[in-house]
Amino acid sequence: MSNPTSTEHDTLDEQAADAAAVVDEAVEDAGTTGAGTSTTGTTSGGTTTTTYAKALAAAFRTAMRQDERVFLAGEDIGVYGGAFGVTDGLLEEFGEQRVRDTPISEEAIVGMAVGAAMTGRRPVVEMQFSDFVVNAMDPLVNQAAKLHFMYGGNVTVPLVVRGPGGGGTGAAAQHSQSLEAWFAHVPGLKVVTPATAQDVHDLFLASLLDPNPVVFLEHKLLYKVEAEVELRERIEDTPARLGEALVLRDGRDCTLVAYSIMVPRALEAAEQLAADGIEVEVVDLRTLRPLDVDTVRASVRRTGRLVTAQEAPVPVGIGAEVAAAVVESDAVDHLLAPVVRVGGRDVPMPYGKDLEAATIPQVDDLVAACRRVLED
């Protein structure tokens, strides 16, 4: 503590040192802080080792170099580089006209983008957390999604609204949601949920080749995940297309349908089950609207069992839609067991680390679900 009788003010550093001493006294074990990891990309052959976030930024670069109509707008995306660093360095390369810092005005960000998209530009706007799109539901749902249809086809709204969703960072209920089912419910929107660094790159470019409004939902836990990525030089070089799921792992016993963060967990679950001789087929939906029901049905016809995995709460979610797609087709005749939907606990995302982990489906939950459908 500083001397209370002193007339001199402590500097902020001195106050901080005092506070640190208070903390030291209060805790028995000061513990260690997690070390940040550097993600410098290395290139080998035609691919680059990079992160999900940097692969997305590389797609922005590809698009902005090729198409002068493309611009980025959002909160703190300029000099700050984005709350998750996704747009880091883009301001320097493309300037403030094309990497536009906006006020904290989500409705204006998306509404402005709708107007610009209608009149010849190619806006890509960031919701700093996808939760904040709730403040922009009018321009997204009532405007962007409707205008092409409502105006009789005489306008298109080629727009990407993107941002991170999901929990796992202790950000609690208003910064951790998985709202994809809301958007997938709206005719006129397309919904993209990339799970890998390669896909976030390729599906973003595919979104730019689409003349419709696209809600592009990243997952904040995936941003730092590294992988080998083949970066595209031109937008049209992307092999991805919206509405195409991928079978990431073949298996004869059970189909496990996942998207976004649940994809790596599904692959890990499949790996663990393989050790017990259980072969799980993992399907990555990649886009939720359009939904590639054909790939799901074909897989279920092969395996006879279905587990769906999502971070969002189960009721009225994507898993229900996937299950319905199976039930509404002849794939239902191949089902050997009831479908199991795995999803988040049916509460707002809690803050505490253990509470949060218990709310979000983990690898063990997926393993257990697959075992359950195999018991029947």
Partner 1 sequence: MTRRPDPSTPEGAAEALEAMWTIRTFELALEELYQRGMLHGTMHLSIGQEATATGVTGALEDGDMITSTHRGHGHCLGHGADPTAMMAELLARDTGYCRGRGGSMHIADVANGNLGANGIVAGSMTIAAGAALAQQQAGGDRVVACFFGDGAANEGAFHEALNLAAIWDLPVVYVCENNQYGMSMASSLAAAGDDIAGRAGAYGIPGHRVDGNDPVAVHEVVLEATARARAGDGPTLVEAETYRYRGHSKSDRNLYRTREEINTWRDERDPIDTFRTRALEAGWLDEEAADAAEQRARDTVRDAVQEASAAPPARVEDLDGAAYAPVPARDGVEDAA
Beta partners for residue 216, in sequence order: 162, 192
Burial 78-91, CB ≥16 within 10 A → b, else e? beebbbbbbbeebb
Is 188 a binder of partner 1 (CB under 8 A)?
Answer: yes
Is 244 a binder of partner 1 (CB under 8 A)?
Answer: yes
Q: Which two tokens stand for residue 223?
A: 């941003």
Is 126 a binder of partner 1 (CB under 8 A)?
Answer: no
Number of neighbouring beta carbons within 10 Å of residue 178: 28
**CB of 152 vs partner 1, minimal distance in Å:** 3
Cα–Cα distances (Å) from 56 to 83, 90, 136, 210, in that order, read: 14, 12, 23, 17
Query: Do 186 and 145 form a contact (C-beta atoms < 8 A)?
Result: yes
User: Catalytic residue among 175, 180, 219, 321, which?
Assistant: 175
Q: How far, in Å, CA of 206 to CA of 337, rounded?
A: 37
Cβ-based nearer residue to partner 1, 18 or 237: 237
**What is the identity of the amino acid at 58?**
A
Is 17 a binder of partner 1 (CB under 8 A)?
Answer: no
Q: Of these, 20, 150, 173, 358, which contacts partner 1 (CB under 8 A)?
A: 150
175 belongs to the catalytic site = yes
Q: How far, in Å, CA of 354 to CA of 102, rounded?
A: 36
Cβ-based nearer residue to partner 1, 211 or 338: 211
Is 121 a binder of partner 1 (CB under 8 A)?
Answer: yes
Binding mask 262-301 for partner 1 (x = CB under 8 A): ----------------------------x-x---------
Q: How far, in Å, CA of 291 to CA of 49, rounded?
A: 30
Is 233 a binder of partner 1 (CB under 8 A)?
Answer: no
219 belongs to the catalytic site = no
Peptide bond into 290 cis (omega under 30): yes
Q: Which residues are catalytic?
A: 106, 175
Interface positions with partner 1 (CB under 8 A): 71, 97, 102-103, 105, 107-108, 110-121, 123, 138-139, 142-143, 145, 147-156, 187-188, 190, 209-212, 236, 239, 241-244, 290, 292
